[in-house]
Amino acid sequence: MIEEITYPHFGPIAGLYPNPGILLGHDIYWTLKEDGSNIGCYLDADDNLQIRSRNQKVASPLFFKIIESTGYIADITEALLHARDYGNEYMIFGELMTKGKSPTRIEYHTENKYTIFDIFSMKNNEPEVGGFLPYSRVHQEAHHMNVPVVELMRLSNVNEISSLYTIRDELLAECEERKKEGVVGKVYKKIGVDDYCFFKEKLDSVRYDKVKTDRIEGKVVLPDLPESEIYGAIEKARADLGDEFRMIQKAMPLIAKYVGEECRKHHCGNVKNLIGYYKQRLEDLR
């Protein structure tokens, strides 16, 4: 069922299994990582447009109103209906950027915006592996919908790990200059354990290939979770709760849950003063 499709979680190049070398010799599409909320668009059984958040099949009514304000609802619905007419089901994944400061506080959006970054196809005979359409198809579909598509920063195919990290560093330097969160890399074919290979590199991510290694005996001290991940988890809770996000008794348990998941995923220690981050996000939304 199309509503069961969720966007995959993925980390930096250094975390790829079994090692970053699986990227060598393959076309890598490096796209700009926008700073907003991951929102998926799909049709229900009655041909009505629904939107999902990272963790809920149906996002809050607040976020539906926000995406409605972008003016893209009719075009997205028409594209989904067109795919259904040809026996296909799409889940359109995009970044919803709400007016005001972005979740990680890197950017300030003057209006509500939605940018498509991936499309998952349910059609069994699609030539692409894993259901995700390649960037060229995503760009084409977005163009027909008159909806913005995520920016392609570079297309690479290298044979050395050092070249891979050089490209990453160059693109992150560009992101820092443009005040953007980071980059996402995608190989649209099975080269590892999954049917696709995605990774992300952000300005505040640990550059594992540049870390000096020392061996010290004693208690293991886990690193701090990057603030971008903290605010990203808070934004997931906001997408789920909508207007109820401002009710601290409902927001904090969900925020604690999502932040805890990020801590375990990134092998980081517990976040101190989590309520302070929550209050800061409330302040930013004003």
Element (H, E) at 157: none
- Distance, CA of 228 to CA of 65 (rounded, Å): 25
Q: What pLDDT is recorded for position 70?
A: 95
Look at the block and give the residue holding tokens 């969720």.
6
Confidence of residue 119 (pLDDT cuts 50, 70, 90): very high
Integer CA distances (angstroms), 170 to 5, 157, 166, 176, in order:
33, 15, 6, 10
Check pLDDT > 60 for residue 129: no
pTM value > 0.95: no
Do residues 118 and 95 make contact, with C-beta atoms less than 8 angstroms apart? no
Find, among 42, 182, 29, the residue nearest to 102 by Cα. 182
Q: What pLDDT is recorded for position 208?
A: 64
**What domains appear along the chain, each with residue ranges and CATH number?**
2-207 (3.30.470.30), 212-285 (no CATH)
- Distance, CA of 2 to CA of 120 (rounded, Å): 9
| Residue 269: other Cβ atoms inside 10 A | 12
Find, among 62, 121, 57, the residue nearest to 86 by Cα. 121
More confident residue, 191 or 67: 67
Amino acid at 75: D
Q: Count helices and strands (H / E) in the chain.
A: 7, 10
Helical H segments across 19-68, by residue range:
61-68
Tokens found for residue 85:
């007419």
Check pLDDT > 50 for residue 125: no
pLDDT in tens, 9-58: 888 998 888 889 999 999 999 999 999 999 999 999 999 999 999 888 99
Confidence of residue 144 (pLDDT cuts 50, 70, 90): very high
Give the CA radius of gyration of the chain: 19
Mean pLDDT score of the chain: 88
- Distance, CA of 42 to CA of 204 (rounded, Å): 32
Least confident of 19-33, 72-86, 115-129, 133-147: 115-129
Instruction: Give one word for 108, left, alpha or beta, with left for phi > 0 and alpha for psi -120 to 50.
Output: beta
Report the interhelical angle of 135-145 vs 73-85 (nearest 10°): 120
Choose from 88-97, 119-128, 262-271 the range with maximum mean pLDDT: 88-97
Q: What pLDDT is recorded for position 16?
A: 87
Confidence of residue 206 (pLDDT cuts 50, 70, 90): low
Integer CA distances (angstroms), 59 to 73, 88, 235, in order:
15, 23, 12
pLDDT in tens, 249-266: 889 999 999 999 888 887
